[in-house]
Chain A
C-alpha cells in the first residue's frame, strides 16, 4: 500500500523568502505525485503534478516541486513567499497505472509572516 509523509506540521517563513514544504512517499512501482492547497472553508485546490519526465515541475501561483526518485521525495518550493500563500498544503500519491484513489499526507500548515 502507498503512503505519504509530511514531516512538518507547521512551516513558518518570512514574506519574500524562499519556502519549502517537504513530502516523502512510498509506493510500489512508479508514482504519480500531486500537491494540493486548502484554504479555510474552501475545497482542495490542485497546484501541480508529476507524471514522468523533467524532475522539476512547475505549477500554479509560482509554485514548483522537485521529484527525487532516489530519496522518494517530492518537495514543494517557491522562490519568494507571499502572505497570501498561507494555507494548508497536502501532498498525495497514486501508483502509475493503478487505482485512481489518491493517498494524502497529513498536511503542512504554511504561515508566511509579513
Chain B
C-alpha cells in the first residue's frame, strides 16, 4: 500500500492555459474523490467516482473543469482556460466501499498557481 499519489505536486501556469492533474488511488479502492482547498479553508468537494462512473459533481465544478476515471483506476482533473481564482491545492482521495461508511484517504495534493 503506497497510498494515494498525485502528480505534479506543483504547477505554475499562466492565465488562459489548460492544466491536467493526475491522481493514482490506493490500488484496491473503488471510490475516488477530488477536493479543492484554498488557504485558510478546509477542503471543498468537487466530484466523486465509483469505479469509472462519475456520480456526483459540485456546483463548484464549472464547465471549465472536467474529471475522468477511464478504467476505474487513476483519475485526471483538467482545468481549461485557467483563471487566477483557480489557484488552490487540489486534493484527491480514495476509499473502499465497505459497510456503512468508508474512510477517505487523501493524497498530498497538487498546488496550482495561476499567474
Contacts and interface: CB of A to CB of B under 8 A. Distances in A.
B48 interface: yes
B45 A32 contact: no
A30 to B, nearest CB: 11
Interface residues of A, number: 26
Interface in B16-69: 31, 33, 35, 40-45, 48, 55-56, 58
Interface string B83-107: 0000000010101000011111111
A49 B42 contact: no
Interface string A66-88: 00000000000000000000000
Residue in B33, B35, B45, B101 with the greatest tally of chain A CB atoms within 10 Å: B101
B108 interface: yes
A101 B108 contact: no
B101 A41 contact: no
Contacts of A102: 35, 43, 45, 104
A104 B43 CA distance: 6
Contacts of B100: 32, 51-52, 96
Interface in A10-35: 32, 34
Contacts, number: 61
A46 B56 contact: no
Interface residues of B, number: 28
Contacts of B45: 101-103
Given A43-B4, A43-B91, A51-B101, A104 B42 contact: yes
3 closest residue pairs by CB, A with B: A104-B42, A101-B45, A44-B106
Interface of B: 3-4, 31, 33, 35, 40-45, 48, 55-56, 58, 91, 93, 95, 100-109
Interface of A: 4, 32, 34, 36, 41-46, 49, 51-52, 90, 92, 94, 96, 99-107
Given A94-B101, A106-B40, 16 more contacts: A41-B108, A43-B3, A43-B91, A43-B107, A44-B93, A44-B106, A46-B103, A46-B105, A49-B103, A100-B48, A100-B95, A101-B56, A102-B35, A102-B43, A104-B42, A107-B42
